[in-house]
Each structure stands twice: as C-alpha cells, then as structure tokens.
Amino acid sequence: MSELQNKNSWYDADKAHHIHPFMDPKYFDKNHVRVITRGEGVYIWDAEGNKILDGMAGLWCVNVGYGRQELIDAANEQMKNLAYYNSFFQSSTPTQIELAEKLATITPQGIDHFFYANSGSEANDTVIRMARHYWSIQGKPTKRIFIGRHLGYHGSTLAATSLGGMKGMHDMGGSLLPEFEHIMQPHWYTLGAGLTPEEFGLKAAKALEDKILELGADNVAAFIGEPIQGAGGVIDPPSTYWPEIQRICKKYNILLVADEVICGFGRTGNWFGSDTYNIKPDMMPMAKGLSSGYIPIAAVGFSKEVYSVLAEGGHIAHGYTYSGHPVACAVALANINLMERDGIVEMVRDDTGPYFRKSLQQLADTHPIVGELRGAGLVAGLQLVKDKENKTIFTSEEGAGLICREHCIQHNLIMRMVDQAMVASPPLTITRDEIDEFTEKAKIGLDLTAQHFGLL
Ligand code: PMP
C-alpha cells in the first residue's frame, strides 16, 4: 500500500492506540496526527506529501540534518559486528571507549570523564545521584538540594521534572520532589525593567546567592542551568550572568552543572554553550546533538576534580542497561567525526549563525508583533508582543503563539511556540538559501498572526 493510501489508517490507529507526550489527547478528537515519513537535509515530508522545512531540527537535535549516510553506515557496521554488550562488570566495547576519548577532546577544558545514559532526563538523574554521592564521600551528606530556575527544562523523569522549573509539569501528579528549589530566569526583556541588561544579569545571579543563604550552603549540592534556556523560550542571559553565577558557586562551595542537552554540539556556534559563555562546569549533561538524534544516547561529563572524588568513593551503584550502547556510541562517534570533517561548528560560528541572526534581527526590528530576538548561533526565540513600544506580551488566552505556529505549518515551516514566543533551532547544516526560505516563511506566519489581531 502506498503512503498516501496508508495515511488514513495511520491516523485512525494513532488515535486508537498511541499516547503522545506533551499533548492533550482531546486534540485528536478534531484533528488528525501529522505523520512524518521521510527526511533529507533540513526537510521532512509528511504522509500528505508536504515538504516541510524543519526549523526545529526535530526536537533541537538533528544537528547534521537528515539522511546522513555516514551515520547510517556506522550503525549498520556496529550492529553487524556487535549489536550489544554492556558496560557493567569490568566490560567495555571499543566504541564506548573511543567516544569517551573523543568527548574529552571537544568538551571544555577540565571535563575528562563520561558516564553514558540514553536521554537528557536520564543524564540529569545521573547528575543528581552523582552530585549527592560526591558530597557524601567528602563527609557532607547534608548537601543535597539542587537549585534550578523557573522555566528551566531538564527532562521528564520525576527527578528531572523536579530539577526543571515548569509549573505545569510539577502540577501533573504532584511531581515536585523535596530538595529542589528554583530561582528567577535571567530574562531581561520581561523581568529587567529599569535596569541595564548588565545590571539585571547581576540581579538574576544574586537570586542564587539569596537562595543559598536562605537554605544554608551546607544543604545545597548544586546549581543547574542551561547556558541558554531552551524549552523555557530560548532565554540567553546578559553577559554578566554566568561569571557571577560561577563566582557564587565557588564562594559557597556549590557544584555548577551546565545542562548542554540543547546547547551542546555546535548549536550556539561553539562546541558547547559553556564555551560560548566561558562557563567552567563541574558536571555537564549532554544528549540530542551528541548523535544528532539518529539514535538515543546521552552522557554526563565530569571535571577531573569531581571525578577524582568519585573515584575514591567506592562502588558506583548507578547505571542503565544501555549505558554506552555500542551502536549508539558508534553513531555518536560518526556524528562528531562528520561535524569535525565538515567544519560544521566553525560554519555556524562564522557564517550561517551570524547570517541567521542578521536576518531574524531585521525581522525583529521591523515587525509589529516581534518584541525581541533572543538566542545565539542557530537557536533563536522571537517574542510575540501586542504592543512593541510597551513590551506587552500576548496572553496565553489570546494565543498568538499557537496561531502563528499554525500559520507557519500551513506554509510548510516548523517552528515551536513557548510562552508566546516563537522558537527555532534548525539543523546546523542549513545553508544561506535555506535560511532565506526560513525567514520568508516565518515572516508570512508573523504577518498573518499580526493581521489576525488587526496589528498589520
Ligand atoms: N535538558 C534539556 C536542556 C533539554 O532541553 C531536554 C529536552 N528537551 C532535556 C534535558 C531532556 O532530554 P530528554 O528529552 O532526552 O530526556
């Protein structure tokens, strides 16, 4: 049966049997699911035959674009040779070892040991367990609390949900565990009235110091933040923020965790967001771009200093059946090799990143419903406002973001909506011509949304 003939039965079967993450099931009472059947470069195709520019690289992950033969071959070869072996009980497989060695060369200086997981959420659960273990080994078992940020996103397991600052997720099933705290996000546009961005960056960082003092440094294990908050709306902090956060963590003897799940692997124009913001993390969870989403794999990088303590702490009672799955490691290695060979990070830093930002900045400066452009490199957020002058953001009831997202998809562009901001994170292989196509389509979506509200 052809794809087109199949599609109706897919729509029915999906509704009958498939539960979707982050969706209201009732949506499918009136709408059918969008079935994506193929990908090539920056484009995906749906079962209706539409060719769609994937402005989100899947879920911020398909960094090298779709259909890369090198990655397919790497999986194929590894499966033929050794489909699976574990890394428990004294064992390793060659690709696990070679990937860890490779990661040590591209991660920020000082990060040199890696623990494998299968998702960003699992990586962050690993962070929590290892950080508490680290303090316990040193005779400080009370240092257990994690401080994250409002609208931070660190995953969807119980612990990762608690690390994150998404209230809707905490509310579902009463998911917020004890010993997780959250401070303000460093978002100058919405929270920095009356302050320069630099002053506001210091204020937002001071919220960490205030929280540590409130809780007592002896009770705090770590601070966690994404270098640029992704799912929270692509919030890039003022230049003063990360240096001050780092100073505070050092002063109070708190571990600093940089969640690189989105920012890692070239997204911000450097290998890691920590390079872009000069952050020296103690632990660094990564996933998504590690394999460009071709296969699930995640890792946590540990600094020499943290690892040296863990190494003295005895048995590490933690691990997943698929920690360092050899096929996933082979694909990740092939992905990093491809990125190095094609100079993809340098291209984002020197060419396509600045070009993307210039195009979107022009849109932000001139469009009546865009308040600001956020982000760095090839990750961007466009804040939707109903009054540009007074920075008045649309309310969620007005739903400008959903309307805009729908217009974009009608014009074969995928962008996501977060809190009345449109966010984008295209494959890092996007060309200038494809960026032009992206910008034109995004402008159509914005124009139609502005017309809907009588603002154009
Ligand atoms: N951390 C960050 C910063 C993320 O953006 C995400 C996923 N969007 C996660 C962790 C969780 O990753 P996963 O969905 O692979 O569990």
Report the alpha-carbon distance of residue 435 to residue 114 in Å, rounded.
35
Query: Do β-strands 111-117 and 51-54 pair in parallel, antiparallel, or remain unpaired?
Result: unpaired
Q: How far apart are the C-alpha atoms of 208 and 249, rounded to whole Å?
A: 9
Structure tokens at 406: 């729908």
Which pLDDT value is given to residue 5? 73
pLDDT, tens digit, 9 for 90 and up, residues 104-115: 999 999 999 999
Token code pair at residue 428: 């890092």
Q: How far is the CA of 241 from the centre of ligand 1 (A)?
A: 22
Nearest to 147 by CA among 165, 126, 171: 165
Q: Number of helices and strands (H, E) in the chain?
A: 18, 16
Integer Cα distance of 166 and 271 in angstroms: 27
Q: Which 3 state secondary structure label does DSSP give 273?
A: helix
Q: What pLDDT, on the 0 to 100 scale, is given for residue 3? A: 74
**Ligand 1 pocket test: which of 149, 259, 261 has the largest number of ligand atoms within 8 Å of its C-beta?**
261
What's the pLDDT band for 146 if we cut at 50, 70, 90?
A: very high
Question: Atom 1, ligand 1: which residue's CA is nearest?
Answer: 154
Contacts of 236 (CB under 8 A, 6+ apart): 228, 374, 375, 376
Cα-to-centroid distance, 348 and ligand 1 (Å): 22
Quick check: 235 pLDDT over 70? yes
CA of 368 to the centre of ligand 1 (A): 32
Share of the chain above pLDDT 90, in %: 98
Phi, psi of 421 (to 5 degrees): -125, 145
The amino acid present at 170, given as its one-letter code, is H
Q: Which atom of ligand 1 is nearest to the CA of 152?
A: 3
When pLDDT is averaged across residues 344-358 and rounded to a whole number, the result is 98
Q: Is this model's pTM higher than 0.90 or not? A: yes
Residue of the nearest CA to atom 7 in ligand 1?
Answer: 155
CA 209 remoteness from chain centre? 25
Q: Which helix (DSSP H) or strand (DSSP E) does residue 300 occupy?
A: strand 298-303
Residues lining ligand 1, Cβ inside 6 A: 59, 119-121, 124, 153-156, 226, 230-231, 259, 261-262, 287
Question: Which of 56, 162, 169, 262 for a ligand 1 pocket mutation test, highest count of atoms within 8 Å of Cβ?
Answer: 262
Summarised one tens digit per residue, pLDDT across range 393-406 is: 999 999 999 999 99
Instruction: Say yes or no to pLDDT of 370 above 90.
Output: yes
Report the candidate in 349, 374, 345, 344 with the shortest Cα–Cα distance to residue 360.
374
194 Cα to the center of ligand 1, angstroms: 33
Cα of 56 to ligand 1 centre, how many Å?
A: 14
- Rounded distance from Cα 239 to ligand 1 centre (Å): 24
Average pLDDT (81-97) is 97
* 11 within 8 A of 33, measured Cβ to Cβ: yes
CA distances from 142 to 138, 163, 168, 306 (A): 11, 18, 29, 18
Contact between residue 369 and residue 384 where contact means Cβ atoms under 8 Å apart: yes
CA of 122, closest atom in ligand 1:
16
Q: Among 153, 163, 268, 425, say which to mutate for ligand 1: greatest number of ligand atoms within 8 Å of CB.
A: 153
Hey, whose CA ends up nearest to atom 10 of ligand 1? 154
Distance from the CA of 154 to the center of ligand 1, in angstroms? 5
User: Which tokens is 346 given?
Assistant: 């340098």
In this prediction, residues 425-443 reach a mean pLDDT of 98
Query: Residue length, the chain?
Result: 456
Examine the pLDDT at 446 and tell me if it is beyond 70. Answer: yes
C-alpha 306: how far from chain center: 24
**259 Cα: distance to centroid of ligand 1 (angstroms):** 9
On whether the CB atoms of residues 123 and 299 are closer than 8 A, the answer is yes
Q: Mutate which of 118, 128, 151, 154 to test ligand 1's pocket (most atoms within 8 Å of Cβ)?
A: 154
For 250-290, the pLDDT digits (tens) are 999 999 999 999 999 999 999 999 999 999 999 999 999 99
Q: Which residue has the tokens 């400066």?
A: 365
CB atoms within 10 A of CB 355: 18
